[in-house]
Structures are given as C-alpha cells and as structure tokens.
Structure 1
Amino acid sequence: MITKEDVIKKLELFSTCLELSGANIFKVRAYHNASISLESVQNFKELIGERKLHTIRGIGNDISHQIYELNETGNIKALKDLKSSLPDGLFYMLKIEGLGPKRVRALYKELKIDNLKKLKKACEGGTLLKLNGFGPVLRSNILKGIEFLEKNSQRYTVDIATDISEKVIKKLKTLSKISKIEIAGSLRRKRETVKDIDILISGASPDEVSKKISDMKEFKEFISKGDTKIAFKLRNGFHVDIRIVKDNEFVTALHHFTGSKEHNVQLRHLSKEFDIKINEYGLEKKEKVIHPESEEELFNILNMEYIPPELREGRGELEAAKKNRIPKLIQLSDLKGIVHVHTLFYDGKKTLEELADFVKRSGFSYIVVTDHSQSSRIANGMKLDKLHFYLSEIDSINKKYGEKLLVKGIECDILTSGELDYPNHVLENFEVVIGSVHSGFSMDKASMTKRLLRAIDNPYMNVLGHISGRLLTKRKAYDFDKEKVFSSAIDSGVYLEINSNPYRLDVDWRYIKNLKEAGMKFLITPDAHSIEDIENIKYGVGIARKGWLEEKDVINTHEVYDFLKALKGVKA
C-alpha cells in the first residue's frame, strides 16, 4: 500500500504541473489543498483501504479516485500525461530559489525559456529584465542558483552512492577468482557527496569483471575497458571506476585511490625524508620495492601511526600521525541514545509505542522524540491542545516498560524574529529543545545572525539543529556570522546537532575540529521520520569522524540521565 507521504508528494506535483501548464487556478488550488488536508489525517491506511478518502474535507471524488489509481497501479495516468507534455527543463528551473511555478511559466510563455542554459543566457544578456516582475535582485539570485545547480548536478548524496557501491561489490564478489575488493575514493573517506565511485579489485580478469558488470540490471554502458581499469555508467547516470590491481600492490593502490589528492601530495613529500618514493604500485627505496600487507604497515614504514580514511584530507592529519596524536574516533557502537525522531503524531511513520519497542530491540538505550512545533505547516506541527496528551503518552509508555526509553523533546522552529515557536511556559515541559530554521532562508547575513543569536539566548534552547539549512545537491546554505553564532552557542551551553539526513549532513565537517577545540559539544542525530531512517545515523558518524570527534565529544554517547545532565550544561 502506498504511503500518505507519497500521495502528498504526487498531489503537490500535480498542482505544480497544472500551474506550469496554465490550468485554472481553482483546479491548481484543489490539488494543493488536498495535499494539505492529508497531512493531518491519522487513519490514512484505513480510509484508503475502505475507499473513503472522499470523506476527508478538501478531497473530492475525482482526486480520491486518482489516489486509488495511484495505490493500485503505482501511477496517475492524468498526471503522467500532463507531466510528459511539459519540458523537463522547467522542473530544473523550479529548483532555483525564488522561482515558483508562476514565474517559471512566465519565463516559458513569454521568453520561450525551458532550460537552465536559456535561462542563464537571458540573465546575462539582460533579456530577463524586460519581463514584468523580474528585477536586478531576482536576476542575481537566479544566476547564483544556476551556479549552485551546475556545481552539484553531477554529484550524489552518500546514501545513493553507498547503495550503488554495495550492489556492485555484491555482484563482483560472485567472481570465483576474486581475492580482494574494497571501496576507495571520496566514498571511503565519507565525504558528504560524491561524483563517482571507485572500487579496487584483485584476483579477477578484466573480461570476467566486465561480464559481471554488464549483467547488472542497473548497467547502461561502458565508457572504457582496459587491463587495469574499467569505467562504466549506470542507468541513473552514476559513473563507476573499477581498478584491477595485483595482490601485492593492493594496499598501496587502496591508499592511493582513497586519496585525497592533498593527502597524497603531502605524503609523497614527507616520504622523501626517508628516501622513499610512494605511489599506487608500492614504496620504492634504493631501487627496492616494498609491498606492505596493510595500510597500518604502510604508515608505520613512514614512522607514523595509522590515519583513518575519513581524516585523509590534507588538513593536519600527517603532522598528528607523526606525533602519535590521531584521536580514537567515535564509532556507531558508542552511541547510546537516538536523538531527533519524529512520530506518527505529526509527520513520522511510527507511534510512540513502536519507538519504545524498537529501543528494546535495537541495542540503543533511549530515543529523544522531537516532533515539529506548531508553525510547521508542511510537517503538521504540534498544536498546543495536543501537547498534554502527547507528553502524558510518553510518561505512560515509560511507566509501562519500567524505564526511561522515551525522552520528551521538540524540534522547535526558530521564527524569523529569533523567537522560538512556543512560549517559555510551554518549552519548560520538554526535556530537550532542538531549535531549527525551517523558513526564511533568504534572509541577509546580518538578519540571520541576529535571528540565531536571539534563539540561542532562550534559556530552554539546548541544541541548534541542522545549522546551515542546506540540502545537499538541492539547496545552498543560508549565510550567517559563524564565529559569532558558534561562540555564543559555546558560551550559552547550546550544543550542535550533526544531522545524519543524507541531504543535510549538517553541521559541515570542515568546521567541526575547530569547534571541538573551542569547547563545543555535539549530538549525532538521524532526524528520523521512520524506523528505517534511524539507520542514516551511520552517515552522521562518518561526518563526526571527519571532524576528528571522539566519544567524549558527543553527548548522546551517555546513558539517558547522564545525557540529560550533560545537555543542561551551562544552563543548569
């Protein structure tokens, strides 16, 4: 059965397509309003199963029958036909901040602009400014948006890359003569997005590897085939490089193709101190080639301790390794609590009872439930009249199990004024308050800084959620004075979330090490809207490791009461 969330997305897409096509505004609004009506429906499965969706206010017979069609066939024919009648480029244009369906239609109708290339030309040539409602500020923002999309158009989030790499490796492992296989490149280093996938393999012939790859249903075409490298594309556009190396060269090849370029350049320079030349084929000293059996041995030969792949970015890891100061990086198994989980009360897919049951089975100790606050329309935020029942339910479940499995939290919107979405007499009912920005992303740097600083000053604020507001490959981060905001947070005892949603992975790992040294503490959270989403926390752990974090730097490594005590910090 189709999920409510999938139906809402289809209805919003239908509304968008109708507006792009110039349909009657009342019809456009009908689909938009239907999607809003569905957000607050708690018994969706029951209603669709009994074919009673028409009883929901705002959903008429036509739309309800289209939802049944979607559930039964996986598609809505009218939507499929409508979308196929529109140029694909219009939907890419919609990804630019400030361009909604109304403006995109105007560009298409008046200037025949139906892709990013034509839009960029119109901006640069001045044609855009002739169109009513398109001024210099919007023109500048559109150009910035195009630049962002061009930069990220060939990059993929880490979850997609991980899924693809696992499928390729699973296929290759069925080769009879394979001896070693590993992921390399930026994916092994746990970068937040990747352009392509690098895989190393030894023991198999190029022909055998090519045959296995071409048998994959995801396979599209070979780019090149040689004795040591096979490059191919998948149907989704993903580029994969497979390097075929000798067994005795596998370790140095793995190190080399893991990168980064900056790390490798620095290591080659350092190896000269030992009169050693290092490359993917081995370590050469006085015309003798050394083939280490592990990466630990490779670093040891150069008088360094092992450097985990996540740290190999050319940002001080070699100096630390020479002094035996590589930290013991945090691991997934160090986490005791799952923080930032949404429930079926609002926009999640599981009830409080199901979350408690999951904790008992999972190996974790507790979940901090953090539904959205009242102003979050898209996420169907928690209204004040539901608050008492919600908190009482958590108490009842904890009492039933005889232990504190669920912690009372809230993801509270930081309003444009900097105020939190609830007054303090409401916030005092929660044990954990995550403050997040969910709107007003286009504020200027000074205004956004002021907004965040005011939120930090609230005595009930514990955590800054997904601090930059970015959506990787989709939306750029908003601008704010990072030094002021982070310093204020440290002084106020407000901690930073490392949000593990693959489209966020926020805070950016490039800031984490310096923040750690300045005294900041962190939480690694899945921002989960389903049980399955909790698995995303592994990506947040990867980002934390890239930021040189240890177990002691992350407060949800504590058991529940120590976690709550640590969370209060300076505010206690």
Structure 2
Amino acid sequence: MTQVDTAGPVDASLERSIEGAAVVVDNTAIAAAFEEIADLLELQQANPFRVRAYRNAARTLASWPEEMSLWAAQGRDFDELPGIGKDLAAKIAEILQRGTCDQLERLRASFPRGITHLLQIPGLGPRRVHVLYHELGVRTPQELLDAARAGHVQAIPGFGATSERRIAEAVAGYLDRSHRWPLARVDAAVQAVLAHLRAGPGVEDVVVAGSYRRRRDTVGDIDVLVAGSRGGNACRRLCDFEHVARVLAQGRTRASVVLRDGLQVDLRVVRPESFGAALVYFTGSKPHNIALRRIAQSRGLKINEYGVYRGTRRIAGKTEASVYATVGLPWIPPELREDHGEIEAARSHALPRLIERDDLRGDLHAHTSASDGADSMEAMAAAAREAGLDYLAITDHSSGLKVAHGLDEKRLLAQMEAIDRLNERLRDIVLLKGIEVEILADGSLDLPDQVLGRLDLVVGAVHSALDLSREQQTARILHAMDHPHFSILAHPNGRLFGTRGGCALDMERIVRHAAERGCFLELNAQPDRLDLFDVQCRLARDAGAAVAIGSDAHRGSDFHWLQLGVDQARRGWLQKDDVLNALPLAALRRRLAATMGR
C-alpha cells in the first residue's frame, strides 16, 4: 500500500530555504538518504546490524516532530536522538549541509544508477537482487523482465522455472503500476472486494482509501483499510478471493494482490482505535499530509497511521474528526485533501458545503434512439424519474455528426412536437427540448437560428477538427459561445480516456467568456470523459460561470453516471449554487431563457 504521510521517505533532493538562510534539508530527506544507504548496504551484503541502524535512524527522523535544521541552528547535538550515535549524527550534519554525504555517494558509485528500483519488486529481497545483478548483470526492472522471459533466471542455482515465472509476473506488475484506471472502470471490482471482506469474521469496518476515496478521475491501485483485531483472517480472505490472479504479499496485517483484470489491491488491517488515523494517513495526498504533519509539529505532536501522539501518549486516532481536531481543524472532505487551499479554508471556517447527488434536480444532456441512444424518449423519461430527477433535457445529436444519425431540421422539429405531446402524459417529470449541436470548424452551429431559437436549451459540442491549434480551437469555441441561442458547452476539453487527452485550449479564456456571456460549462459525467477537469471546475466557480453536470446518457441505465460528475464537481470545490441543474425547474427555465436572449 502506498504510504502518503510524511513518515515515509521522500526524494533526497527535497530542499527548502528558511527565511533566506542557507539551504537546509527536511527530516524526510535525511531519512530518505539513510534508507537509500541501507538499501545499497544490503545489496553489498553488509553486516545486518549496520543496515538495521540506518533503517532505525530513518524511521526516527521521519517521525521526529522537530526539524534537524532547527536543532543545528540551536547548536543541539544530533546524538541526543534515540538510537543515533556519533557516526550517524555526523552524517546528519553532513546531509544538512550538502544534501548528501560521502558514504551515500560512494555507495551510489559502486552500483548502476537506479538499481534500488529492483528492491521495490515484490518477492525480490536484497540477496536475490545481489545474485541477479552479479550473475546476469541486470540493472533495471525491464532488464530483469527481459532476462526472465528469455529463460536466463532459471539457469541460476537456487531459482528454477517456478521462481522465474513468479519474478516475471512481479516485474510485469511493477512496470504496469504507472497505468491508471478510469474511476468508473474499477468501481465494480472495488465493491466486490469490499463485499467479500465484509462477509469475513473479525471485520468491524472496511473503507477504500487513497485516490479512489478522493475520487480522482483515475486511480493507480486500490488501498483498502480494515478495522478489526483479527488481521490474519482479513488478509487470508483477500488472498482467497475468487477474482485474484496472483498474490504479491501476505502477512498478519498486510496483503497485496492483483485481480484478474490487472488491478492491484493493497490491504492494511488496523485496530479500531487507530482506524481514523489510518484513514487520514492513507487517504490524503502526500502534500496534504505533509501540511498536517507540519501543523502537528508546531503543536508538539506527531501524526502517523496509528494515531496522534504527544510524546509517547496517543491522544487521538479512532476517528478522522479526532485527528483533525488535534491540529485545530474541522474534518475535511476526502475529495479536497490535495493541499490546494483546503487547510487554510478549514482554519478560517471557509470550507465549501460541497454539492451532493441529491442536490441535482435534473439532467441537461441525454440521448434517445432518435440519434445514437438505445432507448425511446418515453423510456428515458421513466428512467430519469426513477433516478429521482424532476426534469430531463432531450439533446440528441444534430445531423453534422453523421456517425450518430443526427437530427436535421425536419426531424428536430418533429421531435419537439413529440416532446410536447409526451409531456401532456408524463407525471413527476418534465422533458425539455434541446439538441447537442455540432460546433463547426469556423465556430458556427450546425442548425439554423430559427430552429435553435425554439428550443429550451442548446448544447454545443466539438466532435471534429480536434487537431486545430490552441489559438484556433479557442477562437472556434469562443465564437460558438457568442451565438445568441447557445446555452451549454458540452465536454469542453474533448477528452476520451485511453483514446485522446483532449483538445489544445485556453480554458481560462473560455471560462471567463462563459461568465461574461452568461452561458454554461458542462461537466460531462460519462465515464470515459469526466470533462470538465476538477481544477477547471474550481476555475469556473471562481469566475462565476455555472456548471451543468450532465450524464450524457444513451440509455436509461446511464443516469447513475451523475454520481461520477458530482464526485468530480466536489473535487472542484463546487457547491449547490454553482451547479445549473441543481435549480428547480422554474428557476432553471428563467436562467436558460436569459442565456438564449429571451
């Protein structure tokens, strides 16, 4: 499980300046240097007690509440630290002064650059890496994978074919960790894992932490926390899960597996009295947790995954709220824990009341079988009502998008009449007349003004000429937004996960223009889009441009995607008042009418 609290080591190049003084190094950077020394000593097969001394020193420094740079300024001796003798104290002083030390540089010179990455591969300890390096000359994970696939590993005494296969699988998994999964694509697997673990004995609570809990649009792996006293049971249960393809590690309180679809799941079991502290520790981004740790240090406290400590006494940790309270902060929603101003907002009692799914009153982007949807207009209305919506905009494609069997002027007029007739029969939901109109390369719209002017809303979208320059693409969209009947810019960036990263755009200009023009930006909740991005949602909020969260539903079962849009909006600090379709129908009609010049 990836640890994000500052108790873990960081890059030894991390340096900072204090009030213009000489450059100094954080405790975490000193700890990282000691961890690297320990790794390289293990590769040299040095005395285990010597290696352990560096490991222990690294742990002490990573969790120490006072910076060593301040000790140096005060003239204090580093050997006052527990477990730190004269030799290690001298190295701390050297690293503080230079950012490195002679021993680390000598060890690095004796090995190929980056060989310590091999130590991060599950199942490969220092002794095995030592043998593989000296027998095969492998220096990187890719070189090791190539050697294993070529059958060279099994030729080494003590390895064999089974070891070679497991090493190849472990290295391939390690190299694949840079792959990130769209959030929606892991939801089913995550819920299956949670249900499996909850059904086991000795489990009091199970929560997914990490970027999944922060609801990032993509996740690398899944971090699961279990509260309970029988950790071995939970770890065994995860490893026995029917969808597990291979087990990377298994212990009493930790386990790591790869599911059949390639998703890695890391499990950590903690006692109930530490569950809240573990949630804070494993949920927040690294910068968020660093900020918390520094506040704690200023109060003479230490925060780690087991709790908040004053000296050796644990004073909080059972709940997340108790952890935040010890540093004078209210509980911060997981989606905001990125160190993007949330701590300052919490300190000044200015955290937003984030939008929730129940705040949405309708959906302003949906398709029917009239274009590329799967269900009839009536079926979509029934599904929207079942999803708790009061209104639904029918926004089939215009004819410019040939592959979607888009509507021309004649077909759109017929659909508008059909909506009027259907609304006479519907109960508890109202259909709005709309269109997802193509924004052509010159910024004009794909249907005549006299037709667009009769709609309740016009959703403009770019589906072609995606390779225009940044200036051309931005001018195209700005021109479209100036159209008198333009309402909402659909999926503004044009991103599709796994296919394209989006158009080149000056999004700041587009957001400002939307605010000035009085039109709206869509946060498209379709799983392969999630577009606007979270930072752009916040940009829109700050500029005063309202956001419409749209499902882009193509069948009745797609309305549950609205939750993904709400998650993204929450990461963008959006509140109910920032979201167009959180308005009741009468207020929405007034806003749309004003945008369309009525």
TM-score higher than 0.5: yes
Task: Give 1:191 deviation, angstroms.
Answer: 0.1
1:339, distance to aligned residue in structure 2 (A): 1.7
1:286 aligns with 2:311: yes
Q: Does the CA-based 8 Å contact 2:511-2:543 persist in structure 1?
A: no
Measure the CA separation in 2 of the matches of 1:320 and 1:214.
41
Select the residue among 341, 344, 349 that pairs with 1:324: 349
Greater alpha carbon shift after TM alignment, 308-317 vs 268-277: 268-277
CA contact (8 A) 1:158 1:193 kept: yes
Which residue in the other structure is 1:226 paired with?
251
* Aligned residues of 1:162 and 1:187 also touching (Cα < 8 A): no
Show the 5 A alignment for 1:104-503: 154-203=179-228, 205-401=230-426, 405-503=430-528
In the TM superposition, residue 536 of structure 1 has moved relative to its aligned partner by 0.7
Aligned-partner Cα distance in 2 for 1:448–1:568: 27
Q: Which amino acid aligns with 1:271?
A: A
SS in structure 2 at match of 1:372: coil
Q: 1:534 aligns with which of 550, 555, 559?
A: 559
Report the more deviating stretch, 314-323 or 378-387.
Answer: 378-387
For residues 451 and 153 of structure 1, the distance between their equivalents in structure 2, rounded to whole angstroms, comes to 35
CA contact (8 A) 1:376 1:413 kept: yes
- Please state how far the C-alpha of 1:211 moved relative to its aligned partner: 3.5
Q: Determine helix, strand or coil for the equivalent of 1:212.
A: helix
Contact 1:153 1:473 in 2 (8 A): no
* Distance in 2 separating the partners of 1:345 and 1:248: 57
**Cα offset, 1:338, TM superposition:** 1.5
Say if 1:474 and 1:217 are closer, same or farther in 2 by CA, change over 3 A: farther
- 1:515 and 1:196 map into 2 onto residues whose CA distance is 30
Structure 1 gap ranges (5+): 1-116, 118-149
User: Contact between 2:203 and 2:234, CA under 8 Å: does it hold in 1?
Assistant: no
Pairs within 5 Å for 1:485-564:
485-564=510-589
CA distance in 2: counterparts of 1:151 and 1:547, whole angstroms: 29
Shift of 1:342: 0.4
- Measure how far apart 1:510 and its partner are: 1.1
Whole-angstrom CA distance in 2 between matches of 1:327 and 1:473? 33
Distance 1:391 1:180 in 2: 51
Cα displacement string for residues 289-308 of structure 1 (whole angstroms, at most 9, x for unaligned residues): 12333212221221112110
Letter in 1 for 2:278: A
Report which of the two structures shows the higher radius of gyration computed on alpha carbons: 2
Amino acid at match of 2:500: R
Instruction: Provide Cα deviations, 1:36-78, integer angstroms capped at 9, x if missing partner.
Output: xxxxxxxxxxxxxxxxxxxxxxxxxxxxxxxxxxxxxxxxxxx
Q: SS of the residue aligned with 1:378?
A: helix
- State whether residues 239 and 255 of structure 2, in contact with CA within 8 Å, keep that contact through their aligned partners in structure 1: no
SS of the residue corresponding to residue 435 of structure 2 reads strand
After superposing the two structures, state which structure 1 stretch, 351-360 or 505-514, moved more. 351-360
SS in 2 for 1:340: coil
In the aligned structure 2, how far is the partner of 1:176 from the partner of 1:277?
33
Report the alpha carbon displacement of residue 441 of structure 1 after superposing the two structures with TM. Answer: 1.1
CA displacement at 1:567 relative to structure 2: 2.6
Q: Describe the SS at the equivalent of 2:247.
A: strand
Amino acid paired to 1:213? L
Q: Which residue of 1 aligns with 2:129?
A: none
The Cα shift of 1:560 comes to 1.5
1:193/1:472 contact within 8 Å kept: no
Q: What is the TM-score with the length of structure 2 in the denominator?
A: 0.69
Cα RMSD for the two superposed structures: 1.8
- Structure 1 residue 228 displacement after superposition: 2.5
- What is the number of equivalent residue pairs in this alignment? 424
In the TM superposition, what is the alpha-carbon distance from 1:512 to its structure 2 partner?
1.8
Query: Residue deviations 1:378-407, cap 9 Å, x none?
Result: 211112221222111100011123676100
The CA deviation at 1:522 is 0.7
Instruction: Say which SS state the counterpart of residue 497 (structure 2) adopts.
Output: coil
Which residue does 2:39 correspond to in 1?
Answer: none
SS at match of 1:496: strand
- Are 1:206 and 1:230, in contact at CA under 8 Å, matched by a contact in 2? no
Q: 1:410 to 1:153 in 2, by over 3 A?
A: farther
Q: Normalized against structure 1, the TM-score is what?
A: 0.72
Contact 2:381 2:429 in 1 (8 A): no
Rounded Cα–Cα distance in structure 1 between residues aligned with 2:479 and 2:288: 40
How big is each residue's C-alpha offset from its partner over 1:9-45, in whole Å with a ceiling of 9 and x where there is no partner? xxxxxxxxxxxxxxxxxxxxxxxxxxxxxxxxxxxxx
On the 8 A contact 2:183/2:219 being kept in 1, the answer is: yes
How far, CA to CA, are the matches of 1:295 and 1:348 in structure 2?
Answer: 44
| C-alpha distance in 2 between matches for 1:432 and 1:316 | 35
Aligned partner of residue 556 in structure 1, secondary structure: helix
Q: CA deviation at 1:367?
A: 0.6
Q: d(CA) in 2 for partners of 1:241 and 1:404?
A: 44
Name structure 2 gaps, 5 residues minimum.
Answer: 1-141, 143-174
> How far apart, in 1, do the equivalents of 2:559 and 2:388 lie?
13
Query: Could you give the per-residue CA deviations for residues 171-195 of structure 1, whole angstroms, max 9, x where no partner exists?
Result: 0011121111101000000100001
CA distance in 2, matches of 1:272, 1:251: 19
- The answer (yes or no) to whether the contact 2:548–2:580 under 8 Å persists in 1 is yes
| Cα 1:184/1:404, change in 2 over 3 Å | closer
Letter in 2 for 1:319: E
Cα separation, 2, equivalents of 1:443 and 1:153: 29
Contact preservation (8 Å) 2:363, 2:392: yes
Q: What one-letter code is carried by the residue in structure 1 that aligns with 2:257?
A: F
Give % identity.
34
* Match of residue 68 from structure 1: none
8 Å contact from structure 1 (residues 359, 405) kept in 2: no
Alpha-carbon shift at residue 152 of structure 1 (Å): 9.7
Q: Post-superposition shift, 1:477?
A: 1.3
Contact kept, 8 Å, 1:526 with 1:536, in 2: the verdict is yes
User: For residue 463 of structure 1, what is the amino acid of its counterpart?
Assistant: I
Report if the CA contact (8 A) 1:496-1:520 is conserved: yes
